Structure 1
């Protein structure tokens, strides 16, 4: 049984302590992604400064400032998947609803109390994970998930993605998934990271206002083209 103290960072915690807490929280959060205790432990361990920097970037644009002020939500309770699925095929709303139906999963949900802009950006990043799968085209298999983590690292600098990539890569090398060899896996992850770096910041984009927009249009607007790397 893990108690709250195990996930508490002491003042001026060392890198080793931060990694230990983050690894513990990552292990516990699997299957319970909306748990605010685990989410905040990961955030405090690795990404507090990253999210603070992202808030500063959003404050530089009109859309970013409005998002920080209004704090829109893509949580399950704020979505009507039945209505979205009735939108024309090819639109973001239709594809988003089918994504959850086809994968037999539900949208992100958390009980985290949003006390400040950093809390909001942390939540926004986590709840845009599924829409990014649609826009980037990365699958929900192990390799696709690692590609998306590499993309997020390149686009936002999320340090948690580094830890997930390390764990996922070690697992892939130990027991390859989907018939993907080491060289192909590394090429795909590297390409995803480059693509994320080349793409515009996506956290200030109001997906909620674009349910009727074709996925292809949004992909062209928000994602750099996928490139093959040797």
Structure 2
């Protein structure tokens, strides 16, 4: 039985990888091609609807509806001097984002302070998101190269998108973040889950609110924002959060805030509509 060359084998543990190393391969050979599998996506989505806390259904949906241009996007960025400088300074966003002691030393009102407030209030951690996704990640998705570093940043900036966009972790907020993310990382899975989730919210609505307009507005917001994964996160963390939003062309969401206001006026807690689908990729 033939085996792949040693350097092309995917590894299931990457704690040993120095993602800042100058000699880290840019993209190893043998990476799987992105292919759509709509029946698979639909099958797992139906299971997710039955139990929205079953996050094991999420990864297969992203596998079935991948961003087909992801390798080109990653390599296009990695072939720039700016990308290599960021890679040297930020080999692991998880370590940076989970070091709250260091982040708390940054100025009041900075993105770092707001990030810590959010994560501590919600009981979240960057490492926790990695662990959640790794439960259902197939071995072929682990590769010791620079493209993986880029992929990791797409995962690790999820909660930053929540904070910067102004979308909470309520059901509608999660759908809006998915739509925002689609414009940053155009996997059809983001859009599919975002609008499918909006349909589920609309089905349960007892008050007329602009659910679909909120999701569409989020998609436009993500398009207006430079790709966050390609920004220096450490530089952004030190800046006042409103300066970061201005730099990234992020304005307060109108329809999302309007939906929340209408729900609350009717005595409905937006965070108690339905359990949010925990998604990131």
- TM-score (normalizing by structure 1): 0.74
Deviations along 1:20-79, whole A, 9 cap, x unmatched? 47648968x97687x8x974x454322252321321331354323444677622226862
- Tell me which structure has the larger Cα radius of gyration: 2
Closer/same/farther in 2, CA of residues 121 and 181 from structure 1, 3 Å limit: farther
- CA RMSD between the two structures: 3.6
For 2:178, the equivalent position in structure 1 comes to 149
Deviations along 1:104-151, whole A, 9 cap, x unmatched? 222232457443344333321121010111111111211111111111
Closer/same/farther in 2, CA of residues 85 and 67 from structure 1, 3 Å limit: closer
Q: Does 2:262 correspond to 1:213?
A: no
Distance in structure 2 (CA, Å) of the matches to 1:14 and 1:96: 35
Closer/same/farther in 2, CA of residues 225 and 88 from structure 1, 3 Å limit: same
Q: Which of residues 115, 119, 140 in structure 2 aligns to 1:96?
A: 115
Closer/same/farther in 2, CA of residues 128 and 30 from structure 1, 3 Å limit: farther
Deviates further, 58-67 or 156-165: 58-67
Unaligned runs of 5+ in 1: 1-10
C-alpha contact 2:221 2:250 (8 A) present in aligned 1: yes
Distance in structure 2 (CA, Å) of the matches to 1:66 and 1:30: 40
Distance in structure 1 (CA, Å) of the matches to 2:170 and 2:65: 25
Q: Which has the higher contact order (CA 8 A, sep 6+)?
A: 2
Q: Which of residues 150, 155, 161 in structure 2 aligns to 1:121?
A: 150
Closer/same/farther in 2, CA of residues 100 and 12 from structure 1, 3 Å limit: closer
For 1:140, the equivalent position in structure 2 comes to 169
The alignment partner of 1:119 has SS state of helix
**Structure 1 residue 224: Cα displacement:** 3.8
For 2:261, the equivalent position in structure 1 comes to none
Distance in structure 1 (CA, Å) of the matches to 2:96 and 2:88: 20
- TM-score (normalizing by structure 2): 0.62
Distance in structure 1 (CA, Å) of the matches to 2:113 and 2:166: 15
Give the paired residue count: 213
Distance in structure 1 (CA, Å) of the matches to 2:224 and 2:194: 19
